[in-house]
């Protein structure tokens, strides 16, 4: 008869819990496949445990994820973060086919849903992001996903692979692509389709600028502002240039920031110390390609209000690439 597994730090925290409540995922409720619980411990400490299984987690399936956010804990990656960043992680492990991560409850510091974010607070986040990239410049951890996986994350072909499952996200994405087709110019549709069909060309252009550890999913629900900048959930972490991280941050959050995209880009160029306008435009193109369907106008939703700006920006970069390649 096999011996019982030795209790891990996660096991010991779970055993101490005096109250447990299931939480809704604030970033992608019902979509990721991961589950969240809030636990109260006897000393009054409140923690959150996240569980994920490969077969149930769409993001893990779509990015060839071996459990990178959890493996980063085992390999000490979070301990290499700059002092300005707090990942809030207390322990992580794997039990059978389930990854488990325990975090301090930092919900009080997370950016409030739909509340405007000042340019000053945005700049503080950008500074922390730039420091993250500097800390891992040229040495991104193993098991990061690829730029190619990000460029095709929500593509029609990939979403159709999972559309017959129980997760509603692929169906919503395919509907969003219909909206995109209805409003995008023929040139934009051609660019997005070409990149998603052959993502390596743009990915190689981006990599030529050098790569680092990028979070690659810095939507505001993953960010908190306290004594340090809280950054949660490295599940989509990518081996990429820092500009791509910024582009994904901008495409997901521009509607919530009290500054226009060009002002935010100016702040990023200043704090990152890498003012290569061409490289940045290519990274913005890549970020837009990843999220193109979600930015398509679908009524008054503020998320899509900047679609025209993104179309112009993406097409400019695409034309520059075409000219440079002859």
Q: What is the pLDDT of residue 186?
A: 97
User: Helix H segments across 164-217?
Assistant: 169-183, 186-197, 200-207
For each of the domains in the chain, give its residue range(s) and CATH number, in order of start. Answer: 9-108 (3.30.200.20), 113-324 (3.90.1200.10)
Residue 172, helix vs strand vs coil: helix
Each of the 326 residues of the chain gets a pLDDT tens digit; together they read 455 567 899 999 999 999 999 987 655 545 566 889 999 999 999 999 999 887 777 888 888 888 999 999 999 999 999 999 999 999 999 988 899 999 999 999 999 988 999 999 999 999 999 999 999 999 999 999 999 999 999 999 999 998 888 888 999 999 999 999 999 999 999 999 999 999 999 999 999 999 999 999 999 999 999 999 999 999 999 999 999 999 999 999 999 999 999 999 999 999 999 779 999 999 999 999 999 999 998 755 788 889 999 999 999 999 999 988 76
User: Helix H segments across the chain?
Assistant: 9-16, 58-62, 68-74, 119-135, 147-151, 156-162, 169-183, 186-197, 200-207, 242-253, 261-272, 277-295, 307-324
Q: What is the C-alpha to C-alpha distance for residues 153 and 147, in angstroms, rounded to an integer?
A: 10
Q: What is the C-alpha to C-alpha distance for residues 25 and 109, in angstroms, rounded to an integer?
A: 16
Q: What is the pLDDT of residue 32?
A: 63
Q: What is the pLDDT of residue 1?
A: 44
Whether the Cβ atoms of residue 280 and residue 265 lie closer than 8 Å to each other = yes
| 147: Cβ contacts below 8 Å, ≥ 6 apart | 199, 202, 203, 206, 207, 238, 239, 240, 244, 286
Q: What is the C-alpha to C-alpha distance for residues 285 and 287, in angstroms, rounded to an integer?
A: 5
- Within the chain, how many helices (H) and strands (E) appear? 13, 10
How many other CB atoms are found less than 10 A from the CB of residue 105? 15
For 238, the enclosing helix (H) or strand (E) is strand 238-240
Classify 148 in phi/psi space as left (phi over 0), alpha (psi -120 to 50) or beta.
alpha
Q: What is the pLDDT of residue 265?
A: 97
Helix 307-324, helix 186-197: angle, nearest 10: 60
Q: What is the pLDDT of residue 145?
A: 97
pTM, two decimals, is: 0.94
| 97: Cβ contacts below 8 Å, ≥ 6 apart | 53, 54, 55
Q: What is the C-alpha to C-alpha distance for residues 43 and 312, in angstroms, rounded to an integer?
A: 55
Q: What is the pLDDT of residue 324?
A: 83
């Amino acid at each position: 008869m096999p011996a019982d597994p030795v209790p891990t730090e996660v096991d010991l925290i779970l055993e101490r819990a005096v109250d447990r409540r299931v939480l809704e995922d604030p970033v992608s409720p019902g979509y990721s496949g991961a589950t969240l619980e809030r636990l109260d411990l006897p000393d009054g400490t409140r923690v959150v445990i996240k569980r994920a299984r490969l077969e149930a987690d769409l993001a893990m399936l779509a990015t060839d994820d071996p459990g990178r956010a959890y493996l980063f804990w085992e390999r000490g990656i979070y301990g290499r973060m700059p002092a300005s960043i707090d990942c809030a992680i207390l322990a992580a492990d794997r039990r059978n086919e389930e990854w488990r991560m325990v975090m301090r409850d930092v919900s009080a510091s997370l950016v409030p849903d739909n509340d405007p974010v000042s340019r000053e607070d945005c700049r503080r986040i950008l500074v922390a992001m730039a420091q993250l990239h500097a800390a891992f410049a040229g040495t991104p951890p193993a098991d990061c996903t690829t730029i190619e996986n990000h460029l095709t994350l929500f593509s029609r072909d990939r979403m159709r692979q999972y559309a017959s499952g129980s997760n509603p996200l692929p169906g919503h994405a395919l509907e969003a692509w219909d909206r995109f087709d209805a409003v995008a110019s023929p040139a934009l549709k051609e660019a997005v389709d070409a990149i998603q069909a052959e993502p390596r060309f743009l990915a190689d252009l981006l990599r030529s600028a050098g790569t680092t550890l990028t979070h690659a999913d810095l939507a505001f629900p993953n960010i908190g502002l306290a004594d340090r900048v809280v950054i949660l959930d490295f599940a989509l972490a990518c081996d990429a240039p820092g500009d791509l991280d910024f582009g994904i941050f901008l495409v997901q959050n521009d509607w919530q920031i009290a500054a226009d995209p060009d002002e935010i880009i100016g702040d990023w160029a200043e704090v990152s110390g890498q003012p290569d306008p061409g490289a940045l435009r290519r990274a913005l193109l890549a970020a837009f390609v990843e999220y193109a369907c979600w930015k398509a106008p679908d009524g008054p939703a503020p998320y899509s209000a900047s679609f025209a700006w993104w179309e112009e920006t993406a097409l400019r970069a695409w034309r520059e690439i075409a000219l440079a390649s002859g």
